[in-house]
Amino acid sequence: MSKELFMGIDIGTTGVRAVLFDEKGYEVSLSYREYPMRSSPDGKAEIEPEVVFKSMLDVVKNCIEQVENARNKINAIGLSTQLFSLVAVDRYGNCLTNVITWADTRSIKEAGFIEKNFDCMALYRKTGCRVEHPMYPLSKILWIKNNHRDIYEKTYKFVSIKEYIIFKLYGVFILDLTDASATACFNIHKFVWDEDVLKEVLGVDKEKFGTPVECIHVLKGMKEEYAKIMGIPRDTPLVIGSGDGILANLGCGVFDNTELSSTIGTSGAIRTAVDFPLLDKEARTWCYCFTRDKWVAGGAINNGGIVLRWLRDMHVGEYSKEAMEKGFNNVYELFDSFAKEIRPGSDGLLFFPYLTGQRSPHWRADARGVIYGLNLSHDRRHLVRAAMEGIIFNMFMIYNALVEQLRNPVRKIIANGGYAKSGVWLQIQADVFDKEILVAGVEEAAALGAAFLSMVGIGAKRMIKEDALPAMRAKRPIEPIKENVEIYKNVYRNFIELYNLIFKNSVEVKYERDNN
């Protein structure tokens, strides 16, 4: 193979993948490693940083070994990582905590404290974040301060999983602008750590955080021991990259706000690229820096594919056996067959999929799942389809909030993530949105986005639509079915009316304050 190669490393919440692409963006090889999340009833959702790091070394090594002489053909590597992660480290980079992920809700009390004691709308206008939501590292740092004072006092820096990995490889604490934005501590207009948040909310200075750099910042001179393990020359350029969702946006070929990317994996999101900080007057959506002249705006849901995984895991043995007997590759293909057998609207069954709380557009961390309208005629097939529909309804809420803010019509919606493999789920979205849904041309969109940034970082490409890779072109359209569109208008109206009764207008959870 004489083609030039570029690698994208995508470090997610539940696993890491390394993907080699050719210069057109087409996949050459892939390696994936899953790692466990430590959870508990109190809201803990952690992963072990060393497990993540070693898994990354393994997948890079394995990915390279699949291609003859790939070691000498890799021009650059780009890094994609989960957002909202937090690790406390000492001055030598040793971990004082595990990686506290976005799914960790133990800081809900601290989030409530922020909501009650600070002007959250003013902070939203500066940071682009709903600072009072426990997803963000801001409240998690307060949680460490309040509950693990010994760790807090020993902490040299609060870092993301990306910073931890880069420190291991290069010995520096740096992070990209998006990772910085996702802390809820960063000013997205001035591209600096926000003094009001740091001093007033946290009571710390900016030295507690890493140095923000551009997403195309290039690192060289990797520590020899790790370069050797991965099987790459230590001077191979590594571009710092961005967050996984933002790079999935890029990997789908979304360069401006005439297009949206729609992602459903474990969680889900609707995103677009804008030329200015797009801030909602109701703070329903978020806005993070990507570069100094480009931002990504959108909204995210906690509960995407994780809901189907929950349904799967309740009877995993039974479902796995049935899937195998029916010739399906996995349980999710079996679930697709269930959903296809049920009419749009699931015969009156509504599934509010807030098993792990809600983010956009109403930011109710205390929301929980509700199944409404269940009767004796419903079976497991209805439950699966209603879950798919409920997830899409929540995505539609975000879509409406985002489109309301944009200054031009949206021409394209490009689907990526695990749900893009499900024809029935994509059809539900096309019918609910009453829009054509385009399937992304690549499955590993975040990794491709990272690889593309590596090309930009070394000067092989420019960050403009005209330089988009052939692989970024969408594959096929899913058209709405007229009669289904009319059905879903009524079903969605019922969903929203019931949602408002249960969640939006309900009494807010009262967070206890520790006055001791």
Task: Domain ranges for the chain, please list them.
Answer: 5-252+442-472, 305-407+483-504
pLDDT of 508 higher than 80: no
CA distance linking residue 13 with residue 35, whole number of Å:
9
Provide the pLDDT for residue 408. Answer: 83
pLDDT in tens, 14-48: 899 999 999 999 999 999 999 999 999 899 999 99
Query: What is the predicted pLDDT for the residue at 513?
Result: 32
The larger pLDDT score, comparing residue 365 to residue 285, is at: 285
Thinking of the domain 305-407+483-504, which architecture would CATH place it in? Answer: 2-Layer Sandwich (3.30)
pLDDT digits (tens, 9 = 90+) for 98-151: 999 998 999 999 999 999 999 999 999 999 999 999 999 999 999 999 999 999
Mean pLDDT, the chain, whole residue set: 94
- In this predicted structure, the answer to whether residue 516 has a pLDDT above a threshold of 80 is no
Report whether pLDDT(512) > 90.
no
Mean pLDDT of 452-468: 92
Contact 462, 79 (CB under 8 A): no
Q: Is 448 left (phi over 0), alpha (psi -120 to 50) or beta?
A: alpha
Examine the pLDDT at 509 and tell me if it is beyond 60: no
User: How many whole angstroms separate alpha carbon 310 and alpha carbon 193?
Assistant: 38
Do 435 and 480 form a contact (C-beta atoms < 8 A)?
Answer: yes
Q: What is the mean pLDDT of residues 383-387?
A: 98
- The answer to whether the 5-252+442-472 and 305-407+483-504 domains have the same CATH topology is yes
pLDDT for 443: 87
Alpha helices in 66-193 (DSSP H): 108-117, 120-127, 137-147, 149-154, 161-170, 177-181
Average pLDDT over residues 192-196: 95
Query: By C-alpha distance, which of 391, 425, 90, 395 is closest to 270?
Result: 395
pLDDT at residue 380 tops 90: yes
Structure tokens at 168: 């291991």
Q: Tell me: the pLDDT tens digits for 310-354? A: 999 999 999 999 999 999 999 999 999 999 999 999 999 999 999
**What is the pLDDT averaged over residues 444-463?**
95
- Pairwise pLDDT comparison (241 vs 365), residue with the higher score: 241
At 505 the pLDDT is: 58
Give the burial class of 68: count Cβ atoms within 10 A of its Cβ; 0-12 exposed, 13-18 middle, 19 or more buried.
Answer: exposed
Task: Give residue 9's identity as a one-letter amino acid code.
Answer: I
CATH superfamily of 5-252+442-472: ATPase, nucleotide binding domain (3.30.420.40)
